[in-house]
Chains A and B, each alone.
Chain A
Amino acid sequence: MTDITAADLLADEMHDITVTVNGVTRSARVPARRLLSDFLRHDLRLTGTHVGCEHGVCGACTVLIDGAPARSCLMFAVQAQRHEIITVEGIGDSPETMNHVQRAFAECHGLQCGFCTPGFITTITAFLEENASPSEEEAREVVSGNLCRCTGYQNIVKSVLRAAELKRAETDVTEEQR
């Protein structure tokens, strides 16, 4: 039998937080120990973010925090206070609004069961902001922090390169319109 410790009580202490999720400001009252992944999935019902290992290894729960990929299973919701979070739904939440990465995955058969996919989409979306023209080696490198059990990664690497192409084409069009 384990005694209840002070740490247990603190874990349950409630906190008011305000975070921006997919461009919308959300306020909530959460226990200190509530994981960010659970907060997004079960409190905000944004279930596109998946949890595959609960300890930061598989990358399925990756979201963008102030634009940078982060494992939402390794953060508490309270740590997201005043930060800006983008989930896969914020990247494109319908077939019509898919971004270049999502479209590339559909074109290249970059997913099978789809469970790990949101973590790849967020990671690659952020990466292509930094590197618009990755080499194949760089494309493989950027997805080497996420686990996928279905695809063998080959079509994911292909999707990264295709997404970069689509993004460059979009940028060219935008610049022409200017």
Chain B
Amino acid sequence: MTTRQFGQPVQRREDPRLLTGGGRYLDDLGHSAYEVAFVRSPHAHARILDIDTDAAIDVDGVIAIYTHEDLPGSMGEPLPLLIPHPALHQPRTGYALAKDEVNHVGEAIVMVVATNRYVAEDACDRISVSYERLTPVVGIENARDGSDVVHAEFPDNVSAHLLQEVGDVETAMAGAPHTLTLDLHVERSACTPLEGKGVLAQWNSDDESLRLYSSTQTSTGVRAAVAAKLGLPLAKVECIAPDVGGGFGVKIMHPWPEEVLIPWAARNLNHDVKWTEDRREHFISSAHERGQEQQVTVGFDDEGRLLALDVKFWHDNGCYTPYGIIVPIITATQLLGPYKPGAYRVEFWSLFTNTVLVTPYRGAGRPQGCFAMERTMDAIARYLKIDRAEVRSRNFILPEEMPYDHGLMFQDGRPLKYDSGDFPASLAKLKALVGWDDFEDYRARAIAEGRRVGIGIGCYVEGTGVGPYEGGHIMVETNGRVNVATGLTTQGQGHYTSLAQIVADELGVPFENVHVTTGDTRRMGYAVGTFASRAAVMSGNAVALAARVVKAKALRIAADALEVSPDDLQIEDGVISVKGAPGTSIDLGTVAVMSNPLRYAFDEAAKKATQFAGTFDVDKPPIGDDDEPGLEGQDFYSPTQATFANGMHAAIVETDPVTAEIKILRYCVIHDCGNMINPLIVEGQIHGGVAQGVGGALYERMVYDESGQLLNASFMDFLMPYASEVPHVEADHLETPSPLNPLGIKGAGEAGTIPVSAVIASAIEDAEGFPITSMPISPPELWELRAAHAHDQSRKDAS
């Protein structure tokens, strides 16, 4: 009897290869390719007056130098606006190479192709660009103020303005017994995968085709964008995501300037061309996220129940809006978490600044939204002197209220309608795990030892697995090998394992026989990409559906051969047998042979399928009217809406009474992503997500000065947490299956990150006794807050 793979902590099959130097990341390919370096803008806002490349062209090894003037036709047009939205009334995208003007430090101006990167960088040093400097707009306050503008044609710096309202907020707020207003701030951070971006293009002049490798989260997206820009038939372009060293959102943005420039140069030069992003380039020319100013006004009753919630926020979208307004839309909708807000109004302004553009980073607007909502919950609890967990539970949507429709439009243009979740059960589990009710005893003991501790809590709901669709294609070879292809890409999530687990179960074959390919347009041309915690939901269900198609075909062929009804057959361990008569059987490989009638035999097994092998019905064609050769099939999974995962985190922190150092003593997670395919992988996602959340709460920020220089564009200065900074995560699961998909799964990728800033702020506030309204928070900032509050307190005492 085959062990069911779904739900098992199966070791990852990609690991032995990755552990032994067998990974093939972008820069591991194309050793003989020309290499590219860019001259990038040193100014945040300037007009380009002149570009002098004369001294560079003679550098030994330089092959070509390109500026915007060299880009023909659509290559010289602005890059695409990927996600238009009616509220994005003043969109703006950049050019592959800057045209006339630069809008952030790091914007690419000149592209140098050389025999290697060393030479290309030498040549860049010899290119001089003269600029007329313009006043840069840096930070939300300056953008909102509007006295200086990023794009002259948009004098208010507002790219988008969106208001959504459910119920009558004015009336509900006016009638509320209590109201509070909070001003909250979240700083910029970034995905910062260990492998930056990279592109390798191989132009085949013999058949005029392009093979493109990109360190991307969407190979189908890049392929379509490059074909359009280069004016190539889609059929002549293939795009492959090789092993990708982390993404976390930044690589779903596409096409990056380099993704169109490198293939264009490869075709021009009829030579392989490669660009590997270096760390500084990644900081100043990829994407950032998180920067928002948020104002929450809440009305509530004596019990702490929400009656009205009025949210305004200002989103820093950087200098261009190629990814639309997905991030602020997610904040606006996912802010609600597991709660019923009463009447709800949310209004945001998305603002241009002369900084790196903003696209989703793991959590994608949710960490900011969760911070707003959870800070509000804590403020209500503090105001009414009610336990913080209790206030939350009084506002929960209850399991019997599922599905729960908030009446808002989500990021996929579909209703924000929760499908599942049991929030009271999650909270009960969390309180037990962290010891919520015993914390005051612990605090008393800590105080007696001269220590200052606090406990914090944060809850979130995450819309995962957004459409439009993903596909699965499965082909069984005559030796029983099962090839599975799905089009979305992999950046460490273990798809080669989890998708193989699903197919092994559905098809009834050994796990070892199943081989998964992702992100390769040669194998699956229809796909969307890996983002929004969607891969397991979308491709998991797609490959399950495809496996059912293949299984049905296998049973039909086997039923003919064994002269029984398909209903009497079963597949186990790759062998089809008659139920109750295991002796009557045929293996899947043989069925694969029979599925493909042959004229020519290529091996022993294939002889059985040739025309004189003689068991077929001469009155029927070798392939039936509605049939196809081969034991293969495909199907697509396309849901009506997102499925909503949820979770609750709690942390205990200690703050040093003298130095204000902040230490996380315990970090507890209750996580509900529905049915888990592989708990080992789910927990890994949670650990990694929490670590990124801790970075965002305590360490990571993009420090721009007033002239738009990013002051900390290196790993020395941008403080990504090491093992010494990340707490041990205690995780427990609740599995409320999603009713929306065949496997009952919900996404897990972003969950760990979402509530961390909220939780840590809650815990620090609890330890210190004054509100924490801005994240991240460093020891010096906490020290200054202490001083300010001590000062306020002494003034109050004096008066």
Contact = CB atoms under 8 A, between A and B. Distances in A.
Interface of A: 1-2, 8, 31, 33-34, 41-42, 45-55, 57-58, 60, 87-89, 91-95, 97-98, 102, 105-107, 109, 111-118, 121, 140-141, 143-157
A157 B193 CA distance: 20
B715 A147 contact: yes
A32 to B, nearest CB: 11
B42 interface: no
A156 B726 CA distance: 12
B12 A113 contact: no
A139 B20 CA distance: 21
B27 A51 contact: yes
Contacts of B15: 105-106, 111, 114
A98 B716 contact: no
A contacts with B: majority SS: loop
Of the candidates A42, A141, A149, the one having the most CB atoms from chain B within 10 angstroms of its own CB is A149
Contacts of B24: 47
Of the candidates A46, A88, A113, A116, the one having the most CB atoms from chain B within 10 angstroms of its own CB is A113
Nearest to B752: A152
Interface in B1-40: 11-12, 14-25, 27-28, 31
Given A92-B20, A114-B245, A145 B722 contact: yes
8 contacts: A48-B23, A91-B20, A107-B11, A147-B715, A149-B720, A151-B691, A153-B722, A154-B726
Of the candidates B492, B683, B752, the one having the most CB atoms from chain A within 10 angstroms of its own CB is B492
B607 interface: no
Contacts of B12: 106, 109
Contacts of A115: 23, 25, 193-195, 243, 245-246
A103 B332 CA distance: 45
Contacts of A97: 20
A42 B722 CA distance: 29
Interface stretch (B121-129, B158-166, B452-460, B469-477): B121-129
Interface string B720-753: 1011101011000000000000000000000010
B18 A111 contact: yes
Contact of A46 (B21, B118, B728): B21
B contacts with A: majority SS: loop
Contacts of A95: 16-17, 20
Given A33-B118, A47-B28, A114-B492, A143 B723 contact: yes
Contacts of B492: 111-114, 150
B19 A98 contact: yes
B626 interface: no
B680 A109 contact: yes
Nearest to B686: A152
Interface in B183-199: 192-195
A106 B688 CA distance: 17
Contacts of B278: 54
Contacts of A151: 684, 687-688, 691
B444 interface: no
B302 interface: no
Contacts of B689: 152
Which 7 pairs between the two chains have the least Cβ-Cβ distance? A48-B21, A115-B245, A113-B492, A114-B18, A152-B691, A112-B492, A152-B687
B248 A149 contact: yes
A20 B244 CA distance: 30
B715 A102 contact: no
A52 B195 contact: yes
B548 interface: no
Contact of A1 (B128, B243, B279, B692): B128
A117 B19 contact: yes
B55 interface: yes
Contact of A45 (B20, B27, B31, B243): B31
A57 B194 contact: no
Contacts of B195: 50, 52, 113, 115
Given A93-B20, A113-B243, A121-B19, 10 more contacts: A33-B118, A50-B245, A55-B714, A57-B716, A112-B493, A112-B688, A140-B724, A141-B724, A145-B722, A152-B692
B46 interface: no
Nearest to A48: B21
A55 B714 CA distance: 9
A50 B25 contact: yes
Nearest to A35: B118
A89 B20 contact: yes
Given A8-B122, A115-B246, A147 B20 contact: no
Interface residues of B, number: 61
Of the candidates B55, B493, B690, B726, the one having the most CB atoms from chain A within 10 angstroms of its own CB is B726
Nearest to A104: B19
A1 B126 contact: yes
B52 interface: yes
Given A54-B279, A57-B716, A48 B20 contact: yes
Interface in B656-689: 680-681, 683-684, 686-689
Contacts of A113: 193-195, 243-246, 491-492
Contacts of A33: 118
A154 B491 contact: no
A117 B18 contact: yes
B691 to A, nearest CB: 3
A117 B23 CA distance: 10
B193 A41 contact: no
A176 to B, nearest CB: 27
A84 B687 CA distance: 37
B494 interface: yes
A92 B17 CA distance: 10
Nearest to A52: B194
Of the candidates B18, B20, B193, B680, the one having the most CB atoms from chain A within 10 angstroms of its own CB is B20
Nearest to B497: A109
A160 B646 CA distance: 32
B489 to A, nearest CB: 11
B194 A58 contact: yes
B19 A114 contact: yes
Given A113-B246, A153-B723, A2 B715 contact: no
Contacts of B716: 55, 57
A142 to B, nearest CB: 9
A155 B679 CA distance: 13
Contacts of B11: 106-107, 109
A33 to B, nearest CB: 7
Contacts of B691: 151-153
A41 B684 contact: no
Contact of A98 (B20, B279, B491): B20
Contacts of A50: 25, 194-195, 245
Contacts of B491: 113
Contacts of B17: 95
B723 A114 contact: no
Given A33-B118, A147-B720, A154-B687, A60 B28 contact: no
A9 B715 CA distance: 30
A47 B192 CA distance: 21
Contacts of B19: 88, 92, 98, 102, 105-106, 111, 114, 117, 121
Contacts of B21: 46-49, 87-89, 93, 118
B386 to A, nearest CB: 33
A138 to B, nearest CB: 12
Contacts of A146: 722-723
Contacts of A157: 723
B614 to A, nearest CB: 44
A148 B715 CA distance: 12
Interface string B380-413: 0000000000000000000000000000000000
Contacts of A53: 279, 714-715
Contacts of A8: 122
A48 B22 contact: yes
Nearest to B280: A54
Contacts of A88: 19-21
B726 A147 contact: no
A4 to B, nearest CB: 9
